[in-house]
Structure 1
């Protein structure tokens, strides 16, 4: 019984840390990644890491214009913030 519980926890753990689902729109409609990052930099973001998530988001790790550490998920079509975590 313990092995079954442990196995179910191990299998479920990636789901617990999965990011949001941002879009189901075809990637041909997404904003260009390089231009998107340049727009974020113009808004004051300092991007340490940029990636495309399994939930079809543009995700950045870095700092915002107020120098707070952030993790932000963006809709790659509209550019809208879907989820933001700020560390003061």
Structure 2
């Protein structure tokens, strides 16, 4: 009986922690309303991000990058693909 509660507790913790690392929802607009990839990359560069290692579309309606910010710190950033605005900025 105790084992069952432990398994349930661990399963619940796993679900909560996996939800915490999910990417944000940036837009529900169709992709034909998004900035083109080249235009978005230019906008990102103008914001000071550089050495972009990853640039991709997420399943939650974002453009996501892994690179470095203007201060040279590692950054994982999610952008609204319609406006180009930063939705979430994770810097190490």
Report the TM range for the smaller structure's normalisation: 0.7 to 0.9
Size of the aligned set, in residue pairs, is 87
Alpha-carbon distance, 1:42 to partner: 4.2
For residues 13-24 of structure 1, the aligned pairs below 5 Å read: 13-24=17-28
**1:68-79 alignment runs, 5 A limit:** 68-79=73-84
Provide TM-score, normalisation by structure 1: 0.82
Match of 2:7 among 3, 17, 23: 3
TM-score, normalised by the number of residues in structure 2: 0.79
Give 5+ residue unaligned stretches, structure 2. Answer: none
Q: Which blocks of at least 5 consecutive residues in structure 1 are unaligned?
A: none
Contact 2:49 / 2:69 at 8 angstroms: preserved in 1?
A: yes
Q: 1:11 to 1:43 in 2, by over 3 A?
A: closer
Which structure has the larger Rg?
A: 2
Deviation at 1:22, TM superposition (A): 0.6
Cα RMSD (Å) of the superposition?
Answer: 1.7
